[in-house]
Structure 1
Amino acid sequence: MGGKITIIGSGAWGTAMAKVLAEKEKEVVLWCLEEAAAAEINTQHRNTRFLPGVELPPHLRGVTDVVKAAEGAEFLILASPSLYLLDTVKKILPVHSIREGETAIAVITKGFLPSPKGPRLILETLEDYLPGFYRQSLVYIAGPSHAEEVARGKITGLIAASENPKNSIRFRDLLRSGRLLVFSSFDVRGVQVAAAAKNVIAIAFGMLDALKTAPPESAHPLGTMFGDGTESLLLAAGLNEIQTLGRAMGATHPETFTSISGVGDLDVTCRSVFGRNRRFGREIIEKNILKPFSCLDELLARIGEIGYLPEGVAAAKYVKILSEKHKLKMPISLGLYHILNRETEPDEFLKEFLHDLA
């Protein structure tokens, strides 16, 4: 496996993945949307906007031409945010090595994608646009991971899920190192649902955590009722919702939700200080960050004003639609949707949620 590897998307996770692969003496190209980001990677060997404090291998190349970046790649990993993923993929469809199915493609983006038929999983959506070679051959990579830790060599576990066992193993072997443990799975749908829906739960978790840890002078009366056990209660109930949605959307292995791609990913997303969705939930309480937005759609349209991208915002909208489509009871996810849509206040939601559990 000495061929070219391309990462599409120079955010924190894409950059961390590129660093890990470049450290294995691979030829790695990292596509950047902005010229300044590519120039910084090539001259200073850093990506200070998305991965500050991390030095990148000197032979890792940043480029801004997405077609040239993808052309001739043996492996291509899509890391663009879900809001922009499909538009990015459409740009690389003319690439010869993709038209001929010569490039193995994996996705590390988390979320759902919109379609005329409603929200869909990422891989099934991409299969409608990519050449037929890629049907049931794409690989989805997820697990309890944060770019900031992976880039610093912290031991991390990932799942490489595909309906094509050979491709799952190829990406498993490509990524695996002494500190990055990668396991294969055939439950492509279950792993994708877990990766997307956990971000919704993490926003709710962040709100609860902010109320729980508020200083006495600004503490909300409800916060005095919350402790570590309350957070575990929310996490466990959230996992049940994720599993409920996963089964409805075709998950094939129950253990997906009790493994690292399910409970593992949910736990780290809710509890880690690196979690953007947890941070967003906390800032809903601490900074009233939703105040400038009248509804969820306006929040999505102006999401750049937040300064970072909490993927759970879009996922909350799509999970609501999916839960209604499949007639599922998902009170945490639905409650968070109502908060983001400015229909209810966080303390009202949490009070009602805990009351319903009693």
Structure 2
Amino acid sequence: MTKAAVLGAGSWGTAFAKVLADAGSDVTVWSRRPEVAESIVTRHENPGYLPGVVLPPGLHATADHTQALAGADLVVLAVPSQSLRTNLEAWKDDLPEDATLLSLAKGIETGTLMRMSQVIGQVSGVDSNRIAVLSGPNLAREIALGQPSATVVACTDSSRALAIQKDCATGYFRPYTNSDVIGCEVGGACKNVIALACGMAAGIGLGENTTATIITRGLAEVTRLGVALGANPATLSGLAGVGDLVATCTSRLSRNRTFGERLGRGGSIESAQDATNGQVAEGVKSCTSVRALAAGFDVEMPLTDAVHRVCHDGLEVQEAIGQLLGRRTKPE
């Protein structure tokens, strides 16, 4: 039996811990707040993030990361992308030898412009073949309720990817393997930015044609960046690319879409944050990092640039839409 430590008790960390437990793993969740860990153990619920979802009775939880990591074969990193480095600095000395490190975080680190697997490698010092990433159309609440979904586990070591695949395969959760870590990470980071754009468009009253256009053109610019970084374009046509993009851009369970919709209705960054119960809309910070990364590789990403300017430069959503529509026409 695989012993797994899930470091992070947010909605996706908790949902994925449930998946691992349902698949037969011995799972311990680490929460920075002791009361959340206690609720998972005694009430079998994480009311702050997944209210009403019954968690497996055998799911362990603790506020002590050393206890969670002890003897773990699989360490799941389920904290927001911009806090991953800080957390990992505190955890690195307690990581079990030869454990596989699996990232659920989706983003490009501010300042360094590193993907999450790069951050993990730099901070922990482990070989890249021990680092895996997971990405796909994985809205946490739906998965926690047992609704069918699929995902991609990417790792340069195929045996580790296969092991994770086995550890999280259930009757409702179907994992596929891939060796394209870059493609999965680029898709996961950029889809949050495009989802913000979709939300903004919905917030000012635009309809499905606009949403479809943003998703399609968003996929084109994400693919351009992925290819420039060395990704396989086929990865971005699959679950970790277009699959994740569609789910995040269209669902009201998506924090990034919801956040963007609030902005489109004239709300501030602060009020939009309050409306998502204080949960992180990763795209707000990632849009700046993705934009800078694209500029470094001379990749044109007009939607990402527009989202950045709305979130950080005070550009009105209506004006951003107008500027995008006013761009020079060209062949698709």
Asked if 1 retains the 8 angstrom alpha-carbon contact of 2:218 and 2:303, the reply is yes
Partner of 1:31: 30
CA distance in 2, matches of 1:110, 1:307: 18
1:270 to 240, 249, 260: 249
Q: Does 1:104 align with 2:100?
A: yes
Once the two structures are superposed, residues 207-240 of structure 1 have per-residue CA deviations (whole angstroms, 9 ceiling, x without a partner) of 111222xxxxxxxxxxxxx431221111111011
Whichever residue aligns with residue 204 of structure 2, its letter is: L
Give the TM-score taking structure 1 as reference length. Answer: 0.87
CA distance in 1, matches of 2:328, 2:58: 54
Q: Does 1:172 align with 2:152?
A: no
Partner of 1:321: 292
Q: Does 1:135 align with 2:134?
A: no
Moved over 3 A (4+): 302-306
Q: Does 1:346 align with 2:317?
A: yes
Asked if 2 retains the 8 angstrom alpha-carbon contact of 1:28 and 1:60, the reply is yes
CA gap 1:228/1:347 in 2 versus in 1, 3 angstroms: same
**Helix, strand or coil for the counterpart of 1:120?**
coil
CA distance in 1, matches of 2:41, 2:320: 48
Q: Does 1:240 align with 2:239?
A: no
Residues 140-149 or 68-77, more deviating: 68-77
Question: What is the CA distance between 1:86 and its match in structure 2?
Answer: 1.2
Partner of 1:216: none
Question: What is the CA distance between 1:357 and its match in structure 2?
Answer: 6.2
Whichever residue aligns with residue 277 of structure 1, its letter is: N
Partner of 1:18: 17
Partner of 2:196: 203
CA distance in 1, matches of 2:284, 2:72: 33
Question: What is the CA distance between 1:32 and its match in structure 2?
Answer: 0.3
**Helix, strand or coil for the counterpart of 1:14?**
helix
CA distance in 2, matches of 1:190, 1:67: 32
CA distance in 2, matches of 1:135, 1:259: 23
Whichever residue aligns with residue 264 of structure 1, its letter is: G
Partner of 2:7: 8
Whichever residue aligns with residue 275 of structure 1, its letter is: S
CA distance in 2, matches of 1:78, 1:248: 27
Identify unmatched segments of 5+ residues in structure 1. Answer: 213-225, 293-298
Question: What is the CA distance between 1:319 and its match in structure 2?
Answer: 1.1
Asked if 1 retains the 8 angstrom alpha-carbon contact of 2:259 and 2:276, the reply is no
Whichever residue aligns with residue 234 of structure 2, its letter is: E
The alignment's C-alpha RMSD in Å is 1.9
Asked if 1 retains the 8 angstrom alpha-carbon contact of 2:41 and 2:60, the reply is yes
Partner of 2:234: 255
**Helix, strand or coil for the counterpart of 2:260?**
helix
Whichever residue aligns with residue 116 of structure 2, its letter is: I
Aligned residues: 329
1:189 to 182, 192, 196: 182
Equivalent pairs: percent with the same residue?
Answer: 29
Asked if 2 retains the 8 angstrom alpha-carbon contact of 1:142 and 1:159, the reply is yes
**Helix, strand or coil for the counterpart of 1:277?**
helix
CA gap 1:350/1:96 in 2 versus in 1, 3 angstroms: closer
**Helix, strand or coil for the counterpart of 2:53?**
coil
CA gap 1:127/1:291 in 2 versus in 1, 3 angstroms: closer
CA distance in 1, matches of 2:274, 2:227: 31
Whichever residue aligns with residue 316 of structure 2, its letter is: E
Question: What is the CA distance between 1:279 and its match in structure 2?
Answer: 0.3
Identify unmatched segments of 5+ residues in structure 2. Answer: none
Give the TM-score taking structure 2 as reference length. Answer: 0.94
Larger Rg: 1
CA distance in 2, matches of 1:166, 1:141: 15
CA distance in 2, matches of 1:244, 1:270: 19
Whichever residue aligns with residue 68 of structure 1, its letter is: Q
Q: Does 1:81 align with 2:80?
A: yes
CA distance in 2, matches of 1:75, 1:306: 30
Whichever residue aligns with residue 270 of structure 1, its letter is: C
